[in-house]
A and B are shown apart, each in its own frame.
Chain A
Amino acid sequence: ELKVEQNPLFLSMQEGKNYTIYCNYSTTSDRLYWYRQDPGKSLESLFVLLSNGAVKQEGRLMASLDTKARLSTLHITAAVHDLSATYFCAVDIRTGTASKLTFGTGTRLQVTL
């Protein structure tokens, strides 16, 4: 059974600081996704990581994937209040034509002034 663990579960950080969210998973996969969710809202796709060593950046967020270590990171640079949200990683296990996502429990990020 695939397990996806995120840490930390809750992160309070000051504006301007840097921090990293970690996503560990237990089964081989070469496809990982990061999503953002604001309170009461749906999930917004942030990054799609498709191979070992993949690195993607958008604004103050950068995601990377190490398939050998079964680890993905979401790095936040110089945090701003607008980044406050819950961040989920999701690992894709493909069986035939089916693509099944297993989600981590999420990291609730609070950026304080």
Chain B
Amino acid sequence: NAGVTQTPKFQVLKTGQSMTLQCAQDMNHEYMSWYRQDPGMGLRLIHYSVGAGITDQGEVPNGYNVSRSTTEDFPLRLLSAAPSQTSVYFCASSSHRGFSYEQYFGPGTRLTVT
């Protein structure tokens, strides 16, 4: 299993540009989520999904859109990039069939907005 994969690893955008961060998992997990990590801080939840077709907002959703058309994929769209969105973005997935709900994280995408 590849686990959770993210592309790209690095990205530089200009203010106002849009882009999509890709996330895929091959573990058949129902639950997927996006976090951002800023220097000196823990991760903050942006959006999450409990299954295909179902998404909801996390703690810091403004400026981001998500959709979940398949179990495997959960892309994150930046609508109009701003310097405040410079961050490292992590995607995670977990199964809610067991009891631990342990989340597995992808390798991250480092985004710089100039």
Contact = CB atoms under 8 A, between A and B. Distances in A.
Given A31-B101, A48-B100, A50-B100, A101 B45 contact: yes
B39 to A, nearest CB: 11
Interface in A31-49: 31, 33, 35, 41-43, 45, 48
Interface stretch (B15-23, B68-76, B105-113): B105-113
Name A's interface SS.
strand
B104 A45 contact: yes
Interface residues of B, number: 27
The 10 closest A-B pairs by CB, nearest first: A103-B42, A43-B105, A103-B43, A48-B100, A99-B101, A42-B105, A97-B50, A42-B107, A105-B42, A48-B102
Interface of A: 4, 31, 33, 35, 41-43, 45, 48, 50, 88, 90, 92, 94, 96-106
Contacts, number: 61
Nearest to B4: A42
